Amino acid sequence: MDPFDKVILSSLYLSNLIPEVSSYERIRSRLPISKQIYDLKVHELSEKGFIDKNDKSKLTFIGRDAIKVVLVGGVFDLIHPGHIHTLKAAKAHGDILIVVIARTSTAMKIKEGRRIYHNEALRQELVSSLFFVDLAIIGREGTLYDTVEFVKPDVIALGYDQSHTEKEIAENCTRRNLNVRLIRLNTPIPVTKSSKIKDELGESFYNI
């Protein structure tokens, strides 16, 4: 498939998740494309069966199958080189990289006594500023799998040190009839961790 066709399909998929930003606006934020050319490409993809002819904002099953969505989750209170490597590696496994920002309440449950500097909105903004991240969303209330069910990714990429196991996630996704591939990412710099950086900075980190 033409790479630009995938850009169109990807933007439509993302706008169906977050309707506040239109597909055209998403593309325009990254590529200098006119509305006329955009509409022409949408029409062509509709004629080919990738986009619903009755609703040009929706992908058909064929259109959705033409793109691969990768989902990554984390707290991201402090962006460091380890995060950059992990997210780039995740993006290499698909066309769209969606990053789920853990709610503060969720992060505190996972690790008791954890201190979080940035609130959810700021952490989302930090991750959204990375050009290779297509969308950063705050996790849904409830469990991880409520967010997975909302996104319906093709791939879930786990960081090398994340506590979730592939078996646990696979079983929960199967229960919700979600067909997802699980991968565990490696890192060339395992010593670079948020908790270690915070420990070394001490209280000064929270005064930045």
Give the model confidence (pLDDT) of 154-195 as tens digits: 999 988 766 677 888 888 899 999 999 999 887 665 555 555
Same domain, 45 and 113: no
Give how many domains the chain has, as a whole number: 2
In terms of C-beta density within 10 A (0-12 exposed, 13-18 middle, 19 or more buried), how is residue 134 classed? buried
Alpha carbon distances (Å) from 153 to 21, 75, 100, 207 = 20, 19, 12, 37
Same domain, 45 and 74: no
Could you tell me the CATH number of the domain that includes residue 168?
A: 3.40.50.620
Give me the mean pLDDT over the 38-63 stretch.
97
Same domain, 86 and 49: no
- Domain hosting residue 103, numbered range: 68-207
Same domain, 29 and 49: yes
pLDDT of 104 > 90? The answer is: no
pLDDT of 208 > 60? The answer is: no
What is the per-residue pLDDT for 164?
72
Give the separation between CA 189 and CA 82, rounded to whole angstroms.
6
Same domain, 12 and 97: no
Last residue of a domain, one of 64, 79, 100: 64
What is the per-residue pLDDT for 200?
54
Same domain, 24 and 105: no
Task: Of 65, 31, 80, 93, give the one whose Cα is nearest residue 205.
Answer: 80
Among the ranges given (62-66, 94-98, 146-150, 202-206), the one the predictor scored with the smallest mean pLDDT:
202-206
Give the separation between CA 16 and CA 10, rounded to whole angstroms.
10
Same domain, 16 and 92: no
Give the separation between CA 20 and CA 169, rounded to whole angstroms.
30
Average pLDDT, the chain: 87
Same domain, 60 and 116: no
Last residue of a domain, one of 25, 41, 64: 64
Give me the mean pLDDT over the 115-132 stretch.
90
**In which band, very low, low, confident or very high, does the pLDDT at 105 lie, cut at 50, 70 and 90?**
confident
pTM of the shown model: 0.85
Same domain, 120 and 159: yes
Same domain, 77 and 99: yes
Same domain, 57 and 159: no
Give me the mean pLDDT over the 23-36 stretch.
93
Same domain, 152 and 90: yes
In terms of C-beta density within 10 A (0-12 exposed, 13-18 middle, 19 or more buried), how is residue 155 classed? middle
Give the separation between CA 133 and CA 63, rounded to whole angstroms.
21
Last residue of a domain, one of 14, 44, 64: 64
> How big is the chain, counted in residues?
208
Task: Of 27, 138, 174, give the one whose Cα is nearest residue 166.
Answer: 174
